[in-house]
Amino acid sequence: MLPHSQQGQGPITFVLMHFLGGSHRTWGPTIPYLDRQHRCVALDTPGFGDANAVTGYTVSEMADQVDQSIRELGLERCILVGHSMTGKVATVLASRQPSYLHGLVLVAPSPPGPQPMREADRDRQRAFDASREQAEAFVDESSFHRLPDDLREVAIADAQSVNLEAWRAWVDHGSREDWQGRIGSLPYPALLICGADDRQVPDAEEQGRTTLAHFPHSAVLTLPGAGHLMPLQTPRALAEQMLAFAHLIATRITEGEG
């Protein structure tokens, strides 16, 4: 089972996954806005956070381990929440149509196809060495608007603790994997949330053509004043959208059981 944190209770479980270089701690500022109404389980994916020594870095292997963890925890009525790198993982896991899944929230997700990236940027990302200097630069570039100092330190510590093999596996392989032809059309409601000032992944218009092409029942929105690190940067605004989405799903479940 993947290392994780969990808190809260409610009709829906948010299964929270992090961005490249993050951990379950990424969701720390957002969870207090969610856990009064729903259970929150934040996972560390292989090579990151407390899963630093866990192997299995392909998109499929990460999906396998998330799925196994959900099943071992006995979670039901789940919303998968993928952030950046793990947005791709969440979409691939959804394509397996597990019985516990009722919807997806994709926060600035990496698309199902190859991640659009200039080779110079890919080379620079590949050269990341987890030093304090590079971790600071990575966090500041990702957030666009500087994070509050205390939260910035959490993000920097996460970036410094990564398993560099996992990091480079994503840069060279995971981000390049093309799942577009294997996912098909999925029946789940999906909410895709972009940051207005995000320079790391495609914008809302492009995400609508790519990621959301697999989700006929979907919506996309953009949060103002947000870069790539919305769970740290705009936690309340992000949580409000997640709660509204979960309320719709919980209502549908209740009506279906009535």
Delimit the domains of the chain by residue range.
4-257
Mean per-residue pLDDT, 64-93: 98
Mean per-residue pLDDT, 63-82: 98
- Specify the pTM: 0.97
By C-alpha distance, which of 187, 195, 189, 193 is closest to 246? 189
- Residue type (1 letter), 116: P
pLDDT at 155 over 90: yes
What is the band of 109 on the pLDDT scale with cuts at 50, 70, 90? very high
What is the spatial distance between Cα 218 and Cα 152, in angstroms, rounded to a whole number? 32
pLDDT at 120 (0 to 100): 82
pLDDT at 256 (0 to 100): 75
Mean per-residue pLDDT, 121-128: 88
Q: Which helix (H) or strand (E) holds 232?
A: helix 230-233
CA 243 → CA 10, 37, 49, 67, 146, distances in Å?
11, 8, 26, 23, 26
Out of 29-33, 207-211, 229-233, least confident range: 207-211
Contacts of 247 (CB under 8 A, 6+ apart): none
* Distance in angstroms between the alpha carbons of the first and the last residue of the chain: 35
Arithmetic mean of pLDDT over the chain: 95
What is the spatial distance between Cα 153 and Cα 144, in angstroms, rounded to a whole number? 15
By C-alpha distance, which of 189, 199, 186, 251 is closest to 229? 199
What is the band of 47 on the pLDDT scale with cuts at 50, 70, 90? very high
For the four alpha carbons of 169, 156, 158 and 202, in that order, the dihedral sign comes to negative
pLDDT at 258 over 70: no
Phi, psi angle pair for 195, to nearest 5°: -95, 135
Q: Which is higher by pLDDT, 256 or 140?
A: 140
Q: CATH number of the domain at 4-257, out of 3.40.50.800, 3.40.50.1820, 3.40.50.300, 3.30.70.2740?
A: 3.40.50.1820
What is the band of 116 on the pLDDT scale with cuts at 50, 70, 90? confident
pLDDT at 115 over 90: no
Q: Which is higher by pLDDT, 203 or 24?
A: 24
* Percent of the chain scoring above 70 in pLDDT: 99
By C-alpha distance, which of 157, 164, 172, 171 is closest to 22? 157
Mean per-residue pLDDT, 35-48: 98
